[in-house]
A and B are shown apart, each in its own frame.
Chain A
């Protein structure tokens, strides 16, 4: 990708989404390509040739597209509550949709798709520990319930 920018014909849009193979900032072609697409933002053109070289730059169409997807999923998750999908079904569907939304935010808004893989590993480690934390707490949650029931039945009997 590096050094191949100036003479290349405009690449298809999908290309902008591919991962950076070298984990190194190489943004020669992308910003000018984006600038060409954004007619109203013609003022960008002068900086379109920038090679800031520090990190990936998100094209505007992708940012707006991600927002559209997030909005659509928000509408979906609200409207799906009017259907009864069983005792746990609605919760599962809501969490799946939330996780898709979270993945969109992390992948695109937070640049993790293009970022150093180490940052992805860091983030996934945190997620892993949260899952461990929650699942162990869930398996343990009923452990003292009989004591609580006993306490509550004695206190309510005493109240009468």
Chain B
């Protein structure tokens, strides 16, 4: 049934609409004749399908502009904070799972392809391919959210939360991602911590910080080059007197505030996209879309590409800090 519907839609289009905005084939009556359409899809306040499509397209572009500006607030927070405190970002990026971020990037790119392909399918009245492409888009979006869920769960578990909830269960130099890149620095930070702890034990709870300064001399100091990762991550200070007791940089929790807000807002957009595509899937399955009426697919795809676009920037900014 639906196949014949799209065939008839296609043939109508072929007969009628060459090039310029075609009159709507006598509008409602002509289309009603084909039956099974669930209506002609030309809203009564538009004269032609072209006018209807262009109005919708302008609308979605204006919406996308507000989205770009909406996200720019968070990008601004990121930029200012990274400009002021680069060490916090270097520190925090060791806690993020790059491969999970990369997988999510690929998943989102694939869903962008299928969304763009779905627009083509709608334009050419390829109902089955359209349904398939929308399904793949939804599946990819769900995969993205599942990966995101595991990332969030891991961060909740490790106490990597914004604000006062920030209580990391591991020090940065204890992480595999840090040890793998900077083994000497990790080892040195480990030794320093042990020495500082021993010192505090020996002197009682109220150990003055100045007393610890003598101890690190016993530990062989690595080269400046090997020490650099620790300084860049804000674990020890650039000056010798700040290099006795490695710790996390001040206000490291702000990174996770930015991280959760940026990825969370993006995730909400992905969830919204899933909802829209489920709605479109049902409509596409009924064969509602064709050469004259594919606007909703096109607009949803544009929105989806913008969500992809934002992730394209979020991924290197959050996961690929050097």
Contact = CB atoms under 8 A, between A and B. Distances in A.
B309 A106 contact: yes
Given A78-B98, A130-B75, A94 B316 contact: yes
A58 B322 contact: no
B124 A48 contact: yes
A36 B7 CA distance: 19
Contacts of B119: 58, 111
Looking at chain A's contact residues, is the secondary structure mostly helix, strand, loop, or mixed?
helix
Contacts of B120: 57-58, 60, 63
B69 A126 contact: yes
A123 interface: yes
B69 A130 contact: yes
A138 B79 contact: yes
A50 B72 contact: no
Interface in B222-244: none
A55 B317 CA distance: 35
Nearest to B72: A130
Given A50-B124, A105-B309, A141 B69 contact: no
Contacts of B298: 55
8 contacts: A47-B124, A48-B124, A74-B315, A85-B322, A91-B322, A122-B61, A134-B79, A138-B83
Given A110-B305, A115-B57, A122-B61, 12 more contacts: A51-B19, A51-B291, A54-B291, A67-B112, A70-B112, A95-B316, A98-B313, A109-B115, A109-B301, A123-B61, A127-B68, A152-B250
Interface of B: 6-7, 10, 13-14, 17-22, 49-50, 53-54, 57-58, 61-62, 64-65, 68-69, 72, 75-76, 79-80, 83-84, 98, 102, 105-106, 109-110, 112-113, 115-117, 119-120, 123-126, 128-129, 250, 290-292, 294, 298, 301-302, 305-306, 308-309, 312-313, 315-317, 320-322
Interface of A: 2-3, 24-26, 28, 31, 41, 43-44, 46-55, 57-58, 60, 63-64, 66-67, 70-71, 74, 77-78, 81, 84-85, 90-91, 94-95, 97-98, 101-102, 105-106, 108-111, 115-116, 118-119, 122-123, 125-127, 129-130, 133-134, 137-138, 141-142, 145, 152
